[in-house]
Chain A
Amino acid sequence: MIGLLTPFFDYEFMTRAALGGVALAVAGAPLGVFLVMRRMSLVGDAVGHAVLPGAAAAALLSGGNTLWTTLGAALTGTMVFMTAGPASRALRLPEDAGFAVFYLAALAIGVMIASMGGGVIDLDKLLFGAALAIDNTALALACTAALVTAIGITLVYRPLLIDTLDPQFLRASGGAKWAGPVAQSVFFGLLALTTVASFHALGALMSIGLTILPAIAARFWAKSVPGMILSAASLGIGGVLAGLLVSFHLAAPVGAAIVSCLVGLVLASSLMGPNQSLLTRSFGKTSLAHRAS
């Protein structure tokens, strides 16, 4: 069993990938829990896809420099996120349809820009990430995302929670009027930062996976929001480490291996988690508690 884990100590690229993955799981946990509670899982996915054109263009112009690619990704990701909602309303499209149009457009444009380089840009890396080839800049970005997200969410936790669970109450409860909009801006800013930071490891197509999937699984482990955040962080860390090991031992693509492990955790949690899983619903809480005792 211990032998399975040795790659993390024997190979520097595995250590870096593990550190980066753990940082991203920590950053993604609170964001994912709030995204799922706000029923915005797919919007997060759309933003993840939308980073591609900027990342591709910046990679093309800078010759694949990590910092420039990150800035390019942040630029188009933010642009799509800021414009998709208002543009959908202006065009009288349902908001989810508007997001679908925008992210498909972003994806298509991104692929075309990447192919313009005549093979200079590694499209696979942009789409699926390269967690095992994570460099210092990308690792620093992941750690920064974890730290800034932890601080940011702590600062706006209360208004963000009320805005998520009962937005009307936050507006009409006599509290500070700025609290709701500020909490939302901080939240979406942190989401953009973490999505861009995840992009290097998991690519445009799966970058949101490390944020959303542990949060979905966490609902089956905890009832309270802080409990869900802790569960999401633990599940995310577990999924990342398992995915890296699967990738190492089976020579599987690393991004896909991580996301597959996270999906496996979601399935296992929904079947056997202690809170509202298929098992607890089938047998009832009392009989399960009885068996445990």
Chain B
Amino acid sequence: MSLILNDLAIGYPNHLVMTGICGTIQSSSAVALIGQNGAGKSTLLRTLSGEQTPVSGSCVWDASLKRHRSIAWLPQHPSLRPDAPLTVRELAAMGLWARLGLFGKPCRHDQERIDQALDMVGLADIEKQQVDTLSGGQLQRALFARLTVQDCGLILLDEPFSAVDGASQAKLLEVIHHWVGEGRTVIAAIHDLECARHFPLWWELSKFGAIMRRSDEKPLSSLTQPMRAVSGVAHSS
């Protein structure tokens, strides 16, 4: 079970952002996607999510578990309306949509899953509160609860800590570690290297290509050397 990128080129027909991205990310990994602004972190995540089609090459998410086949994506600026008339619980329950469809009723297991998700992000006591009254950090935690309820094998996060305080960040990191423990794979675009240090693996994007390495290796600056594309095989450790 892994994510396989094969000579992937991302961007737009008139504007290539990156070409020749190769590599494999094993399941149960947490990978921080790092690189300067404009390096292509968000474009890569959008492409992996299926929201944007690759210019060429392919990316394949090969999940062994059927329920882990789908991919969840949380953009940096979600399209959720700030004044959405939803409670925290209803927002988390939205994660059941792919499974329940038009008329499916949430079963007891689904309700328990929502309970657990809200408990995990620390919002169980305010589950009846309206979404528009939440702080930035609380809203991000509620969106993480929705991701948990979605029950996907591959979770893509674009700058998940950019608008949250320290306490919320610690909670969100706990959730990410929990996901990885459950066998999910998490890829997060992160511009702040201090935040990225919490991830066991880094995948650095630059105009020269992409390189995968462990975050406890050499300092970042010594690695930005000219190379078109380097494939890396990552194992969670």
Contact = CB atoms under 8 A, between A and B. Distances in A.
A155 B103 CA distance: 8
A175 B98 contact: yes
Interface in B67-110: 70-73, 75, 78-81, 84-87, 90, 94-95, 97-98, 100-102
B102 A165 contact: no
B72 A174 contact: yes
Interface string B224-237: 00000000000000
B152 interface: yes
Contact of B75 (A37, A156, A168, A225): A168
Q: How large is the interface on A (under 10, 10 to 19, 20 to 34, 35 or more residues)?
A: 20 to 34
Contact of A175 (B49, B80, B101, B146): B101
A176 B51 contact: no
Interface in B107-126: none
Contact of A173 (B84, B85, B150): B150
Contact of A37 (B85, B94, B101, B152): B85
Given A166-B79, A166-B80, A228-B85, A173 B102 contact: no
A223 B88 CA distance: 13
Q: Chain A interface secondary structure, helix, strand, loop or mixed?
A: helix
Nearest to A39: B81
Nearest to A156: B102
Contacts of B80: 165-166, 169
22 contacts: A37-B84, A155-B102, A158-B97, A165-B80, A165-B81, A165-B84, A166-B78, A166-B84, A168-B75, A169-B79, A172-B49, A172-B50, A172-B72, A172-B73, A173-B97, A173-B150, A174-B98, A175-B97, A179-B102, A223-B130, A224-B85, A228-B85
Interface of B: 49-51, 70-73, 75, 78-81, 84-87, 90, 94-95, 97-98, 100-102, 130, 146, 150, 152
